[in-house]
Amino acid sequence: MKKFLLICIFILNFMLIYSSDFIPALDLNAGGTYSYLPGSSGTEPNNSFGFESGMAGSFMANTDFLPYIWFIPTFTLDYSNTAQPLNIDDERFLFSQWLDIYLSYGINWQLNDNWELKLRGFYRKDYSQQTKDEKFGSGLYDYIDSGFYIENVNKFQYYYIPIETTLGFKYIDRRFPNYKTLLSDLPSEVSEYKASPNTYTKEKDNLTYAFYIDNYLQWGQDSNWFTKLSFSYDYIPYFEQKVIDVDGSLSDAVRIDRCSTLSLSVPYYATDVSGMEFGYDFTYNLTNQNYLDTMGTSSDFSDDKYIENYYNYYEHLLKFSINYEFPYKLLTAYKPVATIGLSLDIIQYGTRLAKNKEGKYKSEKEQDNNYTLSLNIKQNIMEFWSYYITATYTKYNSNMQWEAYSIYNYSYLTVIVGTAMSF
Amino acid sequence: MKKLFIILVFVFIFSSGYTFDNESNKSLLESIAIVSDYAGEVLIKANGTQNFKNIELNMPVYEGDEIKTGKDSFVEITFDDASIIRIDNNSNLIVSELSRKNNSAKTIFNLIFGKIVAIVEKLNQDSTFEVHTKMAIAAVKGTEFAVEVNENDAFAGVFDGKINFSSIKGNSIEIEKGKESKIDKDGKTENPSNLKRMLKFENHLNKMREEIKIVRELKNEGKEKIIQWRIKKKFEKEGKTEGESEEKLTIGSIDKKDTEKAEERIKGFLKRKIKKELAILREHALDDLKWVNSEMKADLNLGKTMTDVHGNRIRIEEYIFRPNPKQIDLLSITFRKNRLDYLRAQNIFNTNLPKIIPKEAWLNEWIIEPKIYKVEERLRLSNTIDHLDANTTYQLYKSGNWKLWSTEETLSINDRLKEKKTRISGTELWTNDIPLPSTTSNQYPVNSTQDLAWREKRIYNDGSWLELRIYLIDDYGNLQTNPRTLENWLDLIFNTNVELQLLSSDFNDKDLGIDVVSKILWWTVLNPKD
C-alpha cells in the first residue's frame, strides 16, 4: 500500500511539473444540526444539537506530452456528530460521531471526443462511534475499503437523441479491522470450539465485484427532459463467514450475496437551476446465508426457527424532487433556490418473518417502510459562498413489533443550518 | 510523523497545482476552433449546459456546442488548419465532432436548419470534414462549398473541388465545381446542375478567401498574431482604432474583459467536468456506504449488537456445534464493557442424531418408547475467570408412559463440587452422598415487596455461598412491580425482560459474578447497584 501511494505521489508530482492545464476544485461545508425525536408512549421527546462538516477537493491536470490523459486525484472528508436514533430505549438519542475519508487517484483517457476511459484506485477509511463506551477511532464498525473501478464512457447520437453510456467494473476489498467474532476471544477451557473447522474470526470482511451500466439520454436536441437508466450487479463473497446450516451448525460454504439494482430517473430542467426529477430504484438482494433463531432456549431446540436466505430482500425506492429558483434576489445579489424532496423506501424481506410484541413470529414477512420529506433552501452570498438550511423529516414503520434490540417504528426530524464554499 | 508526511504531500500537490494555474491560458491558443468574426445576434450553448449565451470574438468552440444565428446575423469560425466556415442568418448548427489526433482531423457539423458556407483546407486520407442534415450528408476532402437546409430539402453547391452528397437512405452523388444539387426529405437525389440557387454565397466566399489568405500568412507567426489581427479588424469595423484603446493588445483581445470572459468560459467548462467527477465519486462512496448500513441494521435485527440504557454496546453471539454424532451444543457469548461471559449447553443423546432433530427428541414423556432421547445435559456459565457447572444425567423409565428421569444432578463452582443428588433407580427418593447446604434457600424480594425481583442464597457447609438473583425489568431497564391495573398487566406481559445474576463467595469477581445473557435474558442493567 505504501509503495503504491509513493508511486502515485511520484507520478502526480512529475505530471504536475509538466502539466499544461490544471483545474482545481474545492468544496467546503459546515453546519450546526438540530435533531428531534418525538417521544413514544410514556417517554419524553428528545432533542439535541450537533455539528457536521465536509470537504471535497480535487483537481484535473494533463501534460503536453500526454494531452489526452487527465490525471484526477480526489480527496473527500466528511465529519458528523449528529445525534442518531439507534436502538437505545429511554434515551433514544445517542451522540454518534462519524468520520469518513475517501481518497481516489486515477486517470481519464480521452481516446476521442466521444470516447473516454476512466481508471480509479480508491482507499477509504470510515470511523464511527456509535455508543458511549466506544472509542472514536476504534469503533466496532470502522472499516477500510480499497479497490479500483474502470469505466468506459461513450457519447453518441441515435436519431438526434444524445446518449452517454457508461460501462463499468468495480472491485472493493472491505475490511473491518475491529470486528472479530466473540468466538475468537473464548478462553482455553472451551478452545475446542475455536478449533472447530468451520468457525471464523473476520465475519464482515468481504470482496465486491460490481458490474454496472449507466445510460443518460436527452429526449431530443432541444429537449429539457432527460432520462438516466442504470443497472448494477454486485457479487459479494465473504472471506470467512460460514453459512448456517438447517440445524444451526456452521457449514463448509461461505456466505455469498448477489445484489442487482435497476434505477430509472427522469430529470426535467426548466432552466439551469429549476426543474424536477422522478426516480425509481429496484434492488433485489439474494444471499445463501441463513439464520437459526434459538428463541433463547439452550436445552430445548424444538422451538427453534430456521429462516433460510435471511438477507434476501426486495427494495423499492421512489423519489421525487423539485428544484425552484426564486424569481427575486433576497438580501444578496443571488436568488435563493429551494429543493423539496420526497422519498418512499420499502424493503420487503423474502423469507424473514416479522415478530409480535412478545417476540413470537407472525405469519407475515417483515416489511420496513421509510418515508422522507426534505426541504432545502440555498442561497449564494457571494459567487463561491453560500448558506443553506435543510430540514428532513423521516418516518419509519414496520410490521416488526419486537423492539427489544432495535427500534423499527419511530420518526425523526433533523434541521441543519450551514454554510458552504465552492472553489 | 506519518500524518505530517501526508499533510505535506497534499500541501505540495495543491501548491504545485496553483503554480501552474496560469498555464490554462494555453487552452485559448491551442483550441481547435475559434470565433473569428460575427455580427448581429449570435448565441452559443456550451456542451452540458442549458442556456444560450452571446457569442464573443476569439471564443473557443468545442465539440457539442450549439450555435444559433438570428435575423441579419452571421458567425465565422476558423479552424486550426485555416479552414473556415460561415454560419449564415437564421441558422442552427451543432458541432457534433471536433477532434485532432496524430495526423487525423475529424470535423462534423449537424446543420439543423439554415445555411453554411465553408472553405476547407485539403484534408489527408485519415481526416473527415462533413456537414450532416436530417436528409443528407455532405462529405469533403478540401473544397469550397455551401449547404442549405430547410424543412423539406437539403441543397449543396460546390465552388471549388468536389463533394460527396449522400442521402440518409444511402443514395449518393458527386457534385463537382460549379454544380449544385438537392436531396429531398424522402431521400430522392437530384442530378447536379449548374450553380444557380447557391450562387448567393459567392460574395461570402470571396471575403472568406481573402481572410484565409491572411490567416495562412499569419499562421507562421503564431496564433497570437492571428488573434490580434482579428481584434484589430473587428475594432476597425466597429469604428474603433487600435490607438483609442488604453490597453495593450494581449492574448485573445485588446480588451481585457474579452480575454477574461474567454478564459472564464474555458475554465468553466473544465470546472464543470471536475465537479462532475467529484459528484460521480460521491455517488460511488454513498453506494458503498449503503451496504455497510444495511449490514449494521441486520446485526441489530439479529440481536447481535444492542445498546443498553447507559448507552453502552452489548454484543451477543450464538453458535451451535455438533462435536460428535450424539451431541449438540449451544454456545451463547456476551461481550460488554470489555468483559466476556458465556453460556455453554451440551446436550448428549442416546443415539446418533439426524441432521434435523425431531421435536420428540426434546420431550420428557412419551406414550410409546422414544428412539431418540437425551441422556445427559451439561450447562456451564462462565465469565472466563469463574465458572459454574450444572450437570444432569437422565435415564429412560417406564412408569405408565415412558418418562425421562434425572439420575444425577451436580453443581460445581470453579470445579469444586457443591451439590450432588442421585436417584435410586425406580424410586423417586433422593439420596445425598455429599454434605448438603446447611441452609438450602433464603428467598426474599430484593428491594421491596412490590418489586418483581427475587434472590435465593445457598450457604454450604464449608462456609461458601451461592446467590441467584432474578429481576423482571421493562424495556427501559426499570424494575417491574406488582401490576395493579389491567394496563399494568398488559405492560408486564409485553414489556418484560428477565435478568439473571450469579454471585458466589468462591468467585474471583465479587461484584458482578457471572452475567451470562441468553437473548431472552437481555441484561439492560449492567450493575444492579446503579
Which set of grid coordinates corresponds to residue B351? Answer: 443415539
Whole-angstrom distance, CA of residue A401 vs CA of residue A395 = 15
Whether the per-residue pLDDT at B270 is higher than 60: the answer is yes
Give yes or no for a contact between A357 and B492, defined as CB atoms under 8 angstroms apart. no
Chain A residues near residue B334 by CB distance under 8 angstroms: 182
Instruction: State chain B's maximal CA–CA distance in angstroms.
Output: 129
Nearest to B98 among A113, A132, A245 (CB): A113
Judge whether A191 is closer than 8 Å to chain B, CB to CB: no
Judge whether A268 is closer than 8 Å to chain B, CB to CB: no
pLDDT digits (tens, 9 = 90+) for B207-219: 888 877 777 777 6
Question: Among A219-228, A320-329, B158-167, B244-253, where is mean pLDDT lowest?
Answer: B244-253
Whether the per-residue pLDDT at B430 is higher than 70: the answer is no
Residue of A nearest to B294 (CA): A311
Residue (of B137, B58, B69, B124) closest to B97 by Cα position:
B137
For an interface test with A, the pick among B126, B132, B320 (most A C-beta atoms closer than 10 Å) comes out as: B320
Q: What is the pLDDT of residue B23?
A: 34
Nearest to B313 among A112, A114, A140 (CB): A140
Measured CA angle at B47 (ends B46, B53), to 5 deg: 15
Chain A residues near residue B522 by CB distance under 8 angstroms: 404-405
Whole-angstrom distance, CA of residue A363 vs CA of residue B94 = 61
Chain A residues near residue B318 by CB distance under 8 angstroms: 294
Distance from CA of A419 to the nearest CA of B (A): 18
Residue of B nearest to A291 (CA): B302
Q: What percent of chain A has pLDDT over 90?
A: 31
pLDDT digits (tens, 9 = 90+) for B450-481: 677 777 788 877 778 888 877 766 555 566 77
Q: What is the pLDDT of residue B282?
A: 74
Q: Do B267 and A23 touch (CB under 8 A)?
A: yes
Whether the per-residue pLDDT at B20 is higher than 60: the answer is no
Chain A residues near residue B298 by CB distance under 8 angstroms: 310-311
Q: Provide the whole-model pTM.
A: 0.68
Chain A residues near residue B27 by CB distance under 8 angstroms: 21
Nearest to A60 among B13, B97, B274 (CB): B274
Q: What is the pLDDT of residue B276?
A: 78
Whole-angstrom distance, CA of residue A103 vs CA of residue B301 = 32
Whether the per-residue pLDDT at B223 is higher than 70: the answer is no
Q: What is the pLDDT of residue B253?
A: 37
Chain A residues near residue B356 by CB distance under 8 angstroms: 246-247
Nearest to A88 among B311, B361, B377 (CB): B311
Instruction: State chain A's maximal CA–CA distance in angstroms.
Output: 75
Q: What is the pLDDT of residue A40?
A: 53
pLDDT digits (tens, 9 = 90+) for A23-48: 777 888 888 888 887 765 445 556 77
Distance from CA of B14 to the nearest CA of A (A): 8
Quick one: average pLDDT of A343-362? Answer: 88
Cα Rg of chain A, angstroms:
25
Nearest to A141 among B296, B330, B336 (CB): B296
Judge whether A274 is closer than 8 Å to chain B, CB to CB: no
Q: What is the pLDDT of residue A8?
A: 62
Whether the per-residue pLDDT at A92 is higher than 50: the answer is no
Place of cell 501526508: B6
Cα Rg of chain B, angstroms:
46
Give yes or no for a contact between B402 and B363, defined as CB atoms under 8 angstroms apart. no
Residue A182 CB partners (closer than 8 Å, separation 6+):
B315, B317, B333, B334, B335, B340
Nearest to B310 among A56, A132, A406 (CB): A132
Q: Do A56 and B347 touch (CB under 8 A)?
A: no
Residue (of A291, A287, A349, A289) closest to A315 by Cα position:
A349
Q: From the CB of residue B240, how many other CB atoms can be counted at a distance below 10 Å?
A: 15
Q: What is the pLDDT of residue B527?
A: 28
Whether the per-residue pLDDT at B103 is higher than 80: the answer is no
Q: Do A12 and B14 touch (CB under 8 A)?
A: no
Which set of grid coordinates corresponds to residue B430? Answer: 433422593
Q: Which residue has the higher pLDDT, B344 or B23?
A: B344
Quick one: average pLDDT of B62-73? Answer: 87
Q: Do A21 and B518 touch (CB under 8 A)?
A: no
Whether the per-residue pLDDT at B133 is higher than 90: the answer is no
Whole-angstrom distance, CA of residue A282 vs CA of residue A346 = 10
The model's confidence at residue A364, banded by pLDDT at 50, 70 and 90, is very high
Judge whether A12 is closer than 8 Å to chain B, CB to CB: yes
Whether the per-residue pLDDT at A277 is higher than 70: the answer is yes
- Residue B330 backbone zone (phi > 0: left; psi -120 to 50: alpha; other: beta): beta
The model's confidence at residue B241, banded by pLDDT at 50, 70 and 90, is very low
Chain A residues near residue B270 by CB distance under 8 angstroms: 21, 23, 60
Give the DSSP letter string of A398-409.
ES----SSS--S
Quick one: average pLDDT of B120-147? Answer: 84
Q: Do B328 and A301 touch (CB under 8 A)?
A: yes
Residue of A nearest to B336 (CA): A133
Residue of A nearest to B387 (CA): A189
Q: What is the pLDDT of residue A87?
A: 45
Q: Do B362 and A300 touch (CB under 8 A)?
A: yes
The model's confidence at residue B5, banded by pLDDT at 50, 70 and 90, is very low
Distance separating the N- and C-terminal Cα atoms of chain A: 31
Quick one: average pLDDT of A302-317? Answer: 88
Chain B residues near residue A22 by CB distance under 8 angstroms: 17-18, 20-21, 23-24
Nearest to B330 among A19, A199, A294 (CB): A294
The model's confidence at residue A136, banded by pLDDT at 50, 70 and 90, is confident
The model's confidence at residue B494, banded by pLDDT at 50, 70 and 90, is low
Q: State the average pLDDT for chain B.
A: 74
Give yes or no for a contact between B140 and B132, defined as CB atoms under 8 angstroms apart. no
Helix (H) or strand (E) holding B285: helix B256-301
- Residue B406, phi then psi, degrees to nearest 5: -80, 135
Burial zone of B167 (CB within 10 Å; 0-12 exposed, 13-18 middle, 19+ buried): buried
Quick one: average pLDDT of A95-105? Answer: 79
Whether the per-residue pLDDT at A376 is higher than 90: the answer is yes
Distance from CA of A88 to the nearest CA of B (A): 6
Which set of grid coordinates corresponds to residue B414? Answer: 470453579
For an interface test with A, the pick among B13, B130, B392 (most A C-beta atoms closer than 10 Å) comes out as: B13
Give the number of beta-carbon pairs within 8 Å between A and B.
Answer: 263
Question: Among B246-250, B394-398, B410-414, B422-426, where is mean pLDDT lowest?
Answer: B246-250
The model's confidence at residue B136, banded by pLDDT at 50, 70 and 90, is confident
- Is the ipTM above a cut-off of 0.90? no
Maximum mean pLDDT: which of A69-78, A149-158, A315-324, B181-190: A315-324
Q: What is the pLDDT of residue B525?
A: 29
Beta strands at A115-129 and A161-175: parallel, antiparallel or unpaired:
unpaired
CA atoms in the 13 A half-sphere facing the CB of B240:
13
Q: What is the pLDDT of residue A267?
A: 92
Which set of grid coordinates corresponds to residue B8? Answer: 505535506
The model's confidence at residue A413, banded by pLDDT at 50, 70 and 90, is confident
Q: Do B357 and A86 touch (CB under 8 A)?
A: no
pLDDT digits (tens, 9 = 90+) for A329-342: 878 888 899 999 99
Which of 385-414 (A) contact B at CB < 8 A? 400, 403-406
**Cα separations (Å) of A112 from A71, B104, B105, B120?**
16, 11, 11, 22
Q: State the average pLDDT for chain A.
A: 83
The neighbouring-strand residues paired with A145 are A124, A174
Our separate counts of H helices and E strands in chain B read 6, 31
Question: Among A74-88, B124-138, B273-287, B341-355, where is mean pLDDT lowest?
Answer: A74-88
Judge whether A182 is closer than 8 Å to chain B, CB to CB: yes
Judge whether A269 is closer than 8 Å to chain B, CB to CB: yes
Residue (of A213, A215, A261) closest to A236 by Cα position:
A261
Distance from CA of B36 to the nearest CA of A (A): 23
Chain A residues near residue B320 by CB distance under 8 angstroms: 247-249, 292, 294
Q: Do A249 and B322 touch (CB under 8 A)?
A: yes
Q: What is the pLDDT of residue A175?
A: 92
Q: Do B307 and A87 touch (CB under 8 A)?
A: yes
Judged by DSSP in three states, B211 sits in helix
Whether the per-residue pLDDT at B425 is higher than 70: the answer is no
Place of cell 463533394: B163
The neighbouring-strand residues paired with A154 are A115, A165
The model's confidence at residue A296, banded by pLDDT at 50, 70 and 90, is low
